[in-house]
Amino acid sequence: MKTTRAALVLTATALAPVLLLSTPSFAAAAAPAAHAAATAVDPDTDNAVAIAKILADPASGKGVRREAQKALDGTPADRAAFLATGLAIAQDEDNKVAILKVLYANPATGKAVKREANKALDGTPADRAAFLKTGLRLAQAEDDRVDVARILARPGISDALRAAAQKVMDGTPEELRHFITVGQFQV
């Protein structure tokens, strides 16, 4: 019930100036009133809109969506608290889950990825966010370089595969990943 009411309030608030200003007879008289209403918005309405945007964002994780919905269904103080501290706590929870998936979803996860993921889990929320943003990519590149070195160490590999492996050793993390997952099989 509260969610529906909040959605109606948000919709009415967003559409009121448009509906008022779209009628020609009211356009001139309503413009100052609509501007005054828009500048005197209740802070709780701003919080509810911000939380609704978080809920609509497909990048929001389960923890963020769960806590955002609780805040939206709660009191104005709940919404303010969610935006002040709850969002960061919920985002960190989602980051922990994402890191655990990296560690345990793939049994072939390399040593560097495991090492860096565990450091992130033992670290701060900023450490976990940094691991997911850049650390995972760099640790995966380290593991991929080890895998390319193993390919180079195989006895009897073809000259074409050897040349491709040597070339990719100095490549970007994305080039290394492509070589390990696809490229080594097309040479």
Can you give the pLDDT at residue 42?
87
- Residue 46 clears pLDDT 80, i.e. is over it: yes
- Residue 106 clears pLDDT 80, i.e. is over it: yes
Closest CA to 110 of 82, 77, 150, 81: 150
129 within some domain? yes
153 within some domain? yes
22 within some domain? no
E-only strand ranges, the chain: none
Can you give the pLDDT at residue 2?
52
For residue range 65-88, list pLDDT tens digits in order. Answer: 999 999 999 999 999 999 999 999
User: What is the residue range of 170's domain?
Assistant: 106-187
Can you give the pLDDT at residue 39?
54
Q: Look at the chain and report how many structural domains it folds into.
A: 1
The pTM assigned to this predicted structure is 0.71
156 within some domain? yes
39 within some domain? no
73 within some domain? no
Percent of the chain at pLDDT exceeding 70: 78
161: its two tokens = 């595969």
159 within some domain? yes
52 within some domain? no
Can you give the pLDDT at residue 130?
98
Which whole-number Å values give the CA distances from 139 to 3, 96, 162, 173, 174, in the listed order?
Answer: 43, 17, 23, 9, 12
- Residue 152 clears pLDDT 90, i.e. is over it: yes
